[in-house]
Each structure stands twice: as C-alpha cells, then as structure tokens.
C-alpha cells in the first residue's frame, strides 16, 4: 500500500531522528511488540515461525515497525485474535546499492529491532510476512541489475527472519519502470522456486475505471504472464483514486476479477481465488472515508466470492484520533474516524479465521447530539454543525444535499446520543 507520507498507506517518512525517538520512548524492542516470554508463559523466542495457514498470510495487516508510532502488537493480538502482520517496507539503501534495508535506512543484515518484533509475535503464536516496495523510495528492482541479483537481495531478508511469506508491493513510481518490474517479478519467481512453500503475494494500485487497475497495473500482470509467474494472489488497493466507500471498492474488485480472467485465461473461480484486496482504514490521503461498515461490506464480498487476501493499511492507524476526525486531516498514527482501538484489525482477524473478542464499552460516553438534525434541503456554510446518524458533523465549506458520512465536505466530530 503506499507512501507519500503515505500517512495512510505509510506510507512513510524517512526520518531517522523520529525512528530513534520512537525506539528510545518505547525502551526495548519487547516494549514495541508488547510481547515477551514472561507475558506469554512461553520459552524465549527462537525465531522459528509458527505454523499458520495461508489464510493468515492473506489476512496480515500492514505495520510500520520503525515509524508512525508502532503500537505494541501483543495487546493488539490479545484484543483481536489477529495472528499475522505484514511489516513494511524493504527497500534499497537511500544512497543506492543492491542490499536490503528497512525504509532505505536500516540495514537488514545488522537489524535487531525488527528481529525482536518478529520474535515477539512468534512467541505469542503468530507470524509475519514482509513487504517490499511501497509508494516512493528506491526499490531493489531499480538498483539491482537483473532478476537474479534482485532475488539474492530478497533472499537475505527471507534467511534473516526465517520468512514463510513475502509481499511485493509494486506501485507508483516503480511500476512505471518496466525494467524494475521485470526484475521484481523475476525475483519473485526465483524466490518462489528456491523456497518451497513460500507464500508470495503481489499488491498494486486500484482504479475506478472498470478494470480494477490502470495501464501500469495491467502491464505488471502481462510481465508476470510473460515470465510464467503465478503468486498466491494479486491484490489491488481501492483507495486514493476517487473511491466512495465500499460500493466503489467492490465494483473495482469485480473489474479486476474480469482483468485477471482476460489476462491469464482463468475461469471465474480461479480468478477469485487468485485475487485479493488491500484497504485503507479511516480517512485516506486524498480525503476518502472508509469506516467499519465499509470493511464489513468488503469482507462479506471477499468471503462470499472466495478471494484469498484481505488486508489493510495500517495497524499504526487503527486507533482513534483526538478529536476523532483529526480536524479533517489524515494521520499516519490514527484513522480520523470514530472507532475503538483495533476495530479494523478485527476484520482481518475474522478473515484469518479468528473470532475477535467483544469490544469493551467506551471509557467515556458519547456527547449529546445538541446540533440540529441535518436536512438535505438546507444550505450549510463552513463551520456549521449538524447531527446525523448519531454523530455530530462539521461542514468544511458550503454544501447542500450532501449526506454526512458520504461526502468529504463533512468532518466527523464523533458519536453523540
């Protein structure tokens, strides 16, 4: 999923000072995960992966372990039943070179922080997949000379962390570089051949244009076809492209399903089984809103049609801002919508096969719905407050007839009763 910040799909910031501050504030890597041998009653982690089904690797939500205030994952696992996480992102060094790093700054070969996070997750009975690429930064496919050397760099990551799963997040600007995509797809094929049983997923951009992905996304599929490479699934990211809730996302998935059939000659059932989706929780970079009801609707579609991946960006954002709407801004550390902690992770847990614990009641009651009820015929100007669907909404600019929760003009100020 992405990176302009990508506050949302990361998608991240290369701020070494911020990384250092986060790690100092959290103390040890065990504090980062919130999981320790003492806490779980299990022996110290050996780094050996848990035995998880492919459904769990398809259900792994993204986590940035070095930025955007990484949450303690032990409490997340306990509160949701989630067993898998997707750590992002593996890149080439910022200064160039064909060796793997975290976010272009942290060498995988000398890493201890991500290593400890992974060990903590495994000590609690879970496992990880690692994502390569994302939006922005320099990718290994761009700096390594060919598929074999690109695969060699990724193999170092697999060996370092004893990985059973890896994700190739191929999107802007890399997927506009045909040579880089050739190297990435070729590397994925080599890794699949050299690591029997390795779960390999591919993530790319989603569009509303009727085919589920754009021209470069289709060229990516054609490259995979030409190389004879078939991953566990191809997932699109239906956000940051004019999407309006779950109906637009489901439409994109149907379009992508047709694209997979036409590209590879698959029948309908095979195409669904090789298809996945990567969502964004809350407010996207471009101001779209995806709430819990949208996640449930897409999950219902995914499970009823037999798709094999359901994930989202990101666990770092799966908590409520203060105020809940974050003043109409997108954040990398909270969702900008009203929610309980880890509400969105519970949907991936359901897809993986867990029954999430019941959400505890909120620690404070919602405010009173003191604003007048929204009216479709009324004219509202910036700053106007209305009540609608047990929430208070604030108009950002002039509006008439645009339903709160459905149009970006309205900022959600939180629940009310």
SS3 76: helix
211 belongs to the catalytic site: no
Q: Looking at 144-286, list the stretches that DSSP marks H as alpha helix, in order from N- to C-terminal side.
A: 147-161, 178-194, 215-227, 245-264, 268-273
Distance CA 203, CA 142 (A): 17
Q: Write phi, then psi, for 329 (nearest 5 degrees).
A: -110, 155
Distance CA 16, CA 366 (A): 39
Please, are residues 279 and 313 in contact by the beta-carbon 8 Å criterion? yes
- Active-site hit among 171, 174, 223, 275: 171
**Closest by CA position to 305, among listed 281, 280, 274:** 274
Please, are residues 328 and 413 in contact by the beta-carbon 8 Å criterion? no
Sheet of 385-388: strand order equals: 385-388, 391-395, 410-415
How do strand 391-395 and strand 410-415 relate by DSSP bridges?
Answer: antiparallel
Neighbours of 148 (CB within 10 A): 12
Distance CA 406, CA 374 (A): 13
Q: Which residues pair with 386 in a beta bridge?
A: 393
Distance CA 204, CA 200 (A): 14
Strand segments, DSSP code E, in 354-409 are 379-380, 385-388, 391-395, 399-400
Q: Write phi, then psi, for 296 (nearest 5 degrees).
A: -65, -40
List the catalytic residues: 171
């Amino acid at each position: 999923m992405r990176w302009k910040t990508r506050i949302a799909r990361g998608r991240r910031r290369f701020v070494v000072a911020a990384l250092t501050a986060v790690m100092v504030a959290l103390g040890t890597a065990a504090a980062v995960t919130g999981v320790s041998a003492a806490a779980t009653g299990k022996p110290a982690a050996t780094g050996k992966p848990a035995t998880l089904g492919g459904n769990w690797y398809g259900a792994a939500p993204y986590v940035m372990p070095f930025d955007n205030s990484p949450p303690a994952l032990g409490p997340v696992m306990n509160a949701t039943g989630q067993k898998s996480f997707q750590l992002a992102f593996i890149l080439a060094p910022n200064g160039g070179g064909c060796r793997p790093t975290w976010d272009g700054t942290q060498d995988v070969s000398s890493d201890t922080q991500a290593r400890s996070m992974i060990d903590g997750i495994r000590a609690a009975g879970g496992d990880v997949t690692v994502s390569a690429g994302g939006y922005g930064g320099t990718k290994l496919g761009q700096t390594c000379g060919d598929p074999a050397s690109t695969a060699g760099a990724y193999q170092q990551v697999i060996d370092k962390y004893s990985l059973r799963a890896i994700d190739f997040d191929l999107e802007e600007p890399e997927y506009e570089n045909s040579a880089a995509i050739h190297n990435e797809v070729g590397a994925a094929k080599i890794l699949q051949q050299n690591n029997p049983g390795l779960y390999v997923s591919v993530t790319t951009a989603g569009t509303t244009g009727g085919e589920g992905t754009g021209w470069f996304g289709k060229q990516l599929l054609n490259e995979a076809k030409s190389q004879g490479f078939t991953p566990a699934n191809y997932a699109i990211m239906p956000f940051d492209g004019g999407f309006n809730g779950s109906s637009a996302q489901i439409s994109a998935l149907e379009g992508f399903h047709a694209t997979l059939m036409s590209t590879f000659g698959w029948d309908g059932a095979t195409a669904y089984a090789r298809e996945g989706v990567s969502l964004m929780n809350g407010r996207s970079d471009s101001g779209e809103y995806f709430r819990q009801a949208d996640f449930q609707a897409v999950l219902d579609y995914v499970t009823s049609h037999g798709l094999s991946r359901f994930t989202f960006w990101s666990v770092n954002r799966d908590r409520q801002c203060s105020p809940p709407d974050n003043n109409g801004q997108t954040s990398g550390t909270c969702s900008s919508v009203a929610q309980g902690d880890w509400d969105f992770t519970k949907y991936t847990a359901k897809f993986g096969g867990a029954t999430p614990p019941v959400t505890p009641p909120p620690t404070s009651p919602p405010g009173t719905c003191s604003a007048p009820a929204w009216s479709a015929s009324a004219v509202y100007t910036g700053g106007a407050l209305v009540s609608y669907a047990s929430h208070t909404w604030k108009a950002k600019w002039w509006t008439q007839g645009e339903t709160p929760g459905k149009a970006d003009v309205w900022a959600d100020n939180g629940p009310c009763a």
